[in-house]
Structure 1
Amino acid sequence: MEPQFDFEPAARSLAAIVDGISDNQLGDPTPSGESTVRDLLGHVVGLTEAFRQAATKEAVGNSAPPSSGADMTLPADWRTGIAAQLETLTAAWREPQAWDGDTEAGGVEMPAAIMAIVALDEIVIHGWDLAVATGQKLRVDPTDLAILHEFLRETDPAGTPGLFGPIVEIPADAPEFDRLLGLTGRDPAWRSSAVA
């Protein structure tokens, strides 16, 4: 199967946000539950590798649920490391065979084409989490926004345990990305008390 979309715009946007995070912001809160910036960066380290392995199918049969919070360590080279992992993830999903059949990530198996959208969702939404937590602005590609809106439009209002909180109602005339954030259980108006 030919690739359905390219990860480069989302990967580049997330890498730019990560590069803009200072060491003194690592303990700051994020809109992602109880996660700090450090916790979320650790999650991004894990998910970028997990979804690369999903593309190559090397994770099938041996992936595990991601660790979280205090269980995660943040590598010393996290800025350059995350950028490099985003590049390898992008390259892996450019291979047509990445989109064929089923694959696995985080202990969950699903069709590869759906897994790719889940990966895109993680990159874009956590990019926003990190951006708003650190006083930055995330650039979202219109094509990615359309893909994710279609993917999430049937989200259960109660949310998806372990993935999304209950839907936050957003006015129909709000910007499309704000409405997308609401579908993931996020309030687009969230701001960190640590950001002046």
Structure 2
Amino acid sequence: MTELVDLAPAAEQLADVVVDVTDDQLSAPTPCEGRTVGQLLQHLVGLTLAFRAAADKEVGPLTDTSPDEAGWPDAEPGWREALAHQLPALAAAWRDPAAWEGMTRAGGVDLPGQVAGLVALDEIVLHGWDLASATGQGFDCDDATAGALAEFVDGFDTDGTPGMFGPAVTVGADATPFERVLAASGRDPGWAPA
């Protein structure tokens, strides 16, 4: 197994972004086409629970539901408190080397723990950037995290994966490693609300 990736820096960064989201921003658009800030926040509430359960190998309702089944409902009351608690818990669960070993389940899909950990990282970093961009905040991704994600997203189909990622976006030779990750995931690193 390759070196474990620490989800804590990304989880902390996302938690900092969440704190500064205001109620009047919940209906604002995000880089996730057709999704609002409120819908993205509720998606984050669900995925932090699901990927913590995946790390703990607690296969059941949280890990059996695909994102398509869950849909993209609007933010429910308590999302701030939920994410303030769930993001550190998610990072802590993936600090356990056992989380990265063997098989687990997330989104109704059985997959190796190592892949599930990278998907969890991918979700909190990319959606952290989505949320920050949609609410006028910055989002920094450290080099170690960007490197781990680059290896992961380099395997994506450049034409995109319906329901997950859009087609890859072209970026200049001077793009940062994180901007390349964003572009490979179908995100325009220069996206801003209209």
Q: TM-score, normalised by structure 1?
A: 0.92
**Residue in 2 that maps onto 1:129:** 130
Displaced runs of 4 or more, over 3 A: none
Query: CA separation in 1, counterparts of 2:31 and 2:45?
Result: 18
- Residue 144 of structure 2 aligns with which residue? 143
Structure-2 residue corresponding to 1:68: 71
Matching residue's letter, 2:141: V
Q: Which deviates the most, 172-181 or 130-139?
A: 172-181
1:190 aligns to 2:194 (yes or no): no
Report the counterpart of residue 87 of structure 2 in structure 1. Answer: 86
Per the alignment, in what secondary structure is the counterpart of residue 50 of structure 1? helix
The one-letter code sitting in structure 2 at the alignment partner of 1:120 is: L
- Where in structure 2 are there 5+ consecutive unaligned residues? none
1:153-164 matches, cutoff 5 A: 153-164=154-165
Q: Judging changes above 3 Å, is the alpha-carbon distance between structure 1 residues 2 and 182 closer, same or farther for their aligned structure 2 residues? A: closer
Corresponding residue number in structure 2 for 1:56: 56
How far is 1:60 from its partner? 5.7
C-alpha distance in 2 between matches for 1:47 and 1:175: 27
Q: Once the 2 structures are TM-superposed, how far is the Cα of residue 2 of structure 1 from its aligned partner?
A: 8.9
Residue in structure 1 matched with residue 25 of structure 2 by the alignment: 25
Contact 1:54 1:60 in 2 (8 A): no
Distance in 2 of aligned mates of 1:154 and 1:96: 24
Distance 2:175 2:6 in 1: 27
**1:104-156 deviation digits (Å, cap 9, x = unpaired):** 01111110011100100000000000000000001212110000011111321
Question: Which amino acid in structure 2 is aligned with residue 21 of structure 1?
Answer: V
Shift of 1:73: 4.8
Q: Distance in 2 between matches of 1:120 and 1:180?
A: 12
* TM-align CA RMSD: 1.7
Q: Name the residue aligned to 2:45.
A: 45
Quote the offset at 1:74 in angstroms.
Answer: 2.5
Shift in Å at residue 80 of structure 1?
2.1
Aligned residues: 191
Task: Go from structure 1 to structure 2 and tell me whether the alpha carbon gap of 1:89 and 1:174 turns closer, same or farther (over 3 Å shift).
Answer: same
Which TM-score applies when normalising by structure 2? 0.93
Give 2:71's aligned amino acid: S
Displacement of 1:173 in angstroms is 2.0
Q: How far apart are residue 103 of structure 1 and its match?
A: 0.6
Deviation at 1:96, TM superposition (A): 2.0
Distance 1:65 1:44 in 2: 14
Q: Match for 2:97: what amino acid?
A: P
List runs of 5+ in structure 1 lacking aligned partners: none
Q: Which amino acid aligns with 1:86?
A: L
Q: Is the 8 A contact 1:3 1:93 kept in 2?
A: no
Deviations 1:51-110 (A, max 9, x none): 0000011126861112122xx252322112102101111111122211110110111111
